[in-house]
Amino acid sequence: MPSPKKTGTVPKKHSKAAIQKILTLIEEQGIDFADLRFTGPDGRWHHVAQAVATLTPESFEEGFLFDASSIPGWQGIDQADMALIPDPETAVLDAFSARPQLVMICDVVNPLTGERYPRDPRATGRRAEEYLKSTGIADEAFFGPEGEFFIFDNARFGVGGHYSTYQLESTEGAEAGLKDYSEGNFGQRPGHNGGYMKLNPVDSEPDLRSEMLSLMAEMGLQPERHHHEVARSQHELGIRFASLIKAADNMQIYKYCVHNAAASYGKTATFMPKPILGENGSGMHVHQSIWKEGKPVFAGKEYAGLSETALYYIGGILHHAKALNAFTNPSTNSYKRLLPGFEAPVLLAYSAANRSASCRIPLVNNPKGKRVEVRFPDATANPYLAFSAMLMAGLDGIKKKIHPGEAMSGNLYELPEEERKKIPTVCHSLRSALQALEKDHDFLLEGGVFTKDQIQAHIDLKMKDVLRLEKSPHPAEFEMYYSL
């Protein structure tokens, strides 16, 4: 049998000291299982728990085989075997397991070639970091995602041939005003889109958010803040920025802690961008900067204290935004958030401090803090793919000197319609985003960061979501058309 063709890169070998540190930790902490986690194409975390007796120094080189054909968007059943290689630098104790358990994030490797699996999102992030260094433009990229989410007391939903329904319940919800509670109805709750930074008891979940951040700290993240967001039942937690791969790893831990902490309180959390009709949706604003030899590349003397390089980076983001939407906003629900009138950053413009623009430059005096904030992504995104795609768009802008034009000042939401029509927008649907990616993806192929095969697999996977929604009757359609 001929050897398979090599298509990827070989992951770095971990030091003996790093591996021994993990094995010593297992012994000292009385750990029973090593929970190996990896991210599929759709951004979901998967895992397998290995008894620690099966973890040896060789495991960090040979890995553990699993069935990649069972992960949507990956291998066919005839080439299913892939290996999970634990990354010892990611090892943390699980904050939620009943018995001591070590969590390690894994890279996916082809066991026959020993190379990274090209469709592994974490491998894409690795290639993006390596490509950045190869350009000479910078040697580090930092990302600071701000994930927003909703917390509900109950979430009931179901779809069948003869029904389609959902019902969300929250002590902050509009329906709660006349509801009887065993402890009484205290009447203190946010109004419509009136929750931003409200104090308890109007804000009903400060203790839960504190618990979430504390658990994230236990799992290696650096907490910074938390607060109630604009919509009823909507929240945000802030964590410190990190390198591309580390920031993506952190976002997976972030979501894990939010979901499980909510469950421990008898609640349920969702990162759906738009679960509530008429309220603001949830985004994942992503702060970005690149550095070279320890110096911030984005600091300069141009607009808002940015460098010309930073402006070109913004130009690349705005130029490729519609294609980026396929990765930064990869759910059909994403585009129910990206609508005018709900503080959604739909207009492809940039501005200092202006939160109505899709690209904001935060006002900071320290040159080290100079960065751009891309505001249209949401947390249904696979963080490895979304961060990598944005970095590649920004680098393309730098290489081709794509200037973003004049900055836009003032509230863009209140522009006269004729002026607003002149400003390009993000995509209006997942279908249009996938079509944009089909037409505009050469910038992603530079340096082999993404592959044509990977991009097509992403389009095919997401088109299944599009088609499922498009062929499903919607409850609103019954109200509009049933009696015609």
Q: Is residue 13 part of a domain?
A: no
Does 345 share its domain with 469?
Answer: yes
Q: How many CB atoms lie within 10 A of CB 143?
A: 27
Q: Write out pLDDT tens, residues 421-446.
A: 888 999 999 999 999 999 999 999 99
DSSP label at residue 268: E
**Residue 232 annotated as catalytic:** no
- The reply to whether 58 and 199 lie within a common domain is no
Q: Is residue 257 part of a domain?
A: yes
**109: phi then psi, degrees, rounded to nearest 5:** -130, 145
Q: What is the pLDDT of residue 341?
A: 65
Catalytic annotation present for 67: yes
51 φ, ψ to 5°? -60, 140
285 lies in the same domain as 404? yes
Is position 2 within any domain?
Answer: no
Strand partners for 360: 351, 373
Q: Of these residues, 236, 249, 279, 378, which one is catalytic?
A: 236
CATH number of the domain residue 216 falls in: 3.30.590.10
Residue 408 confidence (pLDDT): 85
Say how far apart CA 69 and CA 56 lie, in whole Å. Answer: 26
Name the catalytic one among 94, 373, 378, 396: 373
Extract the tokens encoding 463.
Answer: 């088109």
Whether 71 and 156 map to the same domain: the answer is: no
Secondary structure of residue 340 in the 3-state scheme: coil
Q: Are residues 289 and 341 in the same domain?
A: yes
Catalytic: 279?
Answer: no
Is 146 assigned a catalytic role? yes
Residue 457 is predicted with a pLDDT of 95
* Annotated active-site residue in 148, 205, 249, 279: 148
Total tally of structural domains belonging to the chain = 2
Range of the domain at 89: 19-117
pLDDT score, position 196: 87
Q: Is 139 a catalytic residue?
A: no
Q: Which of 87, 129, 205, 229 is catalytic?
A: 229
Whether 79 and 170 share a structural domain: no
Same domain, 283 and 249: yes
Is the same domain home to 113 and 144?
Answer: no
Does a structural domain hold residue 125? Answer: no
371 catalytic? Reply is: no
Residue 268 lies in a domain: yes
Please check whether residue 199 lies inside any domain of the structure: yes
What is the model's pLDDT at position 473? 94
Is 337 inside any structural domain?
yes
Q: Is 42 a catalytic residue?
A: no
- CATH code for the domain of 62: 3.10.20.70
Please give the C-alpha separations between residue 271 and each of 114, 235, 294, in angstroms, as whole numbers.
Answer: 35, 10, 35
Cβ(237)–Cβ(258) below 8 Å: yes
Predicted confidence at residue 343, as pLDDT, reads 67
Q: Which positions of the chain have pLDDT values less than 70?
A: 1-11, 78, 341-343, 353, 355
Which of these three, 51, 85, 117, is where a domain ends? 117
Both 161 and 38 in one domain: the answer is no
CA distance 253 to 247: 10
Same domain, 98 and 236: no
> Based on the domain organization, do 161 and 278 belong to the same domain?
yes
Q: Facing residues of 226 across strands?
A: 237
Contact by Cβ (8 Å): 179, 185: yes
DSSP H or E stretch at residue 207: helix 206-218
Catalytic residue among 189, 228, 285, 320: 285
Does the annotation mark 229 as catalytic? Answer: yes
Both 249 and 337 in one domain: the answer is yes
The structure tokens 């400003």 sit at 423
CA 336, 337, 339 angle in degrees (round to 5)? Answer: 85
Q: What is the pLDDT of residue 7?
A: 46
pLDDT digits (tens, 9 = 90+) for 329-361: 999 999 999 987 666 789 999 999 676 789 999
Active-site residue among 42, 87, 94, 146? Answer: 146
Tell whether 406 is covered by a domain. yes
Q: Which of 27, 67, 224, 477 is catalytic?
A: 67
Please name the residues in contact with 456: beta carbons below 8 A apart, sequence gap of 6 or more.
none
Q: Which listed residue (375, 431, 441, 458) is catalytic?
A: 375
Report the pLDDT value the prediction gives residue 339, as an integer from 0 to 100: 85
Which residue in the block uniquely carries the two structure tokens 């490797």? 109
d(C-alpha 465, C-alpha 431), whole Å: 9
Is 375 one of the annotated active-site residues of the chain?
yes
